[in-house]
Amino acid sequence: MKVTVKFTPLIRVLTKTDQMILDLPENTKINGLLKVLKERYGERLIDLLYASEMGSHDSWASIIIDGRTSSLTPELDVELKEGSVVVLLAAVGGG
């Protein structure tokens, strides 16, 4: 199945693209997609998503799946479908 993945500016620095279309096996869930992206871009991508450099794997980042926003946590495992659009947002902190 084909899934479109879009990257926000901070992640684009790593991926060198604003979006890509991946051909994934049927019934792939978001964690499967993240595994594919980690294999392609390395642990740095996961660090950007989960704010690892801030010592956290809490829900710092958000992800948009087919227009619905959700907190990105290691436990999130939404099933993707043909034509899904996933927007990965880098974790942010402030204060």
Residue 54: band (very low, low, confident or very high) from pLDDT cuts 50, 70, 90 = very low
Compute the average pLDDT of residues 42-53.
77
Q: What is the CATH number of the domain that holds 63?
A: 3.10.20.30
Residue 81: band (very low, low, confident or very high) from pLDDT cuts 50, 70, 90 = very high
pTM of the predicted protein model: 0.83
Residue 55 has pLDDT above 70, yes or no: no
End-to-end Cα, the chain, rounded Å = 41
Q: What is the Cα–Cα distance from 13 to 25, expressed in whole angstroms?
A: 27
Burial of 26 (0-12, 13-18, 19+ CB in 10 A): exposed
Within-domain flag for 93: no
The residue range of the domain holding 6 is: 2-88
For the ranges 19-23, 44-48, 62-66, 87-91, the one whose mean pLDDT is highest: 19-23
Within-domain flag for 94: no
Compute the average pLDDT of residues 38-59.
73
Provide the number of structural domains found in the chain: 1
Residue 52 has pLDDT above 60, yes or no: no
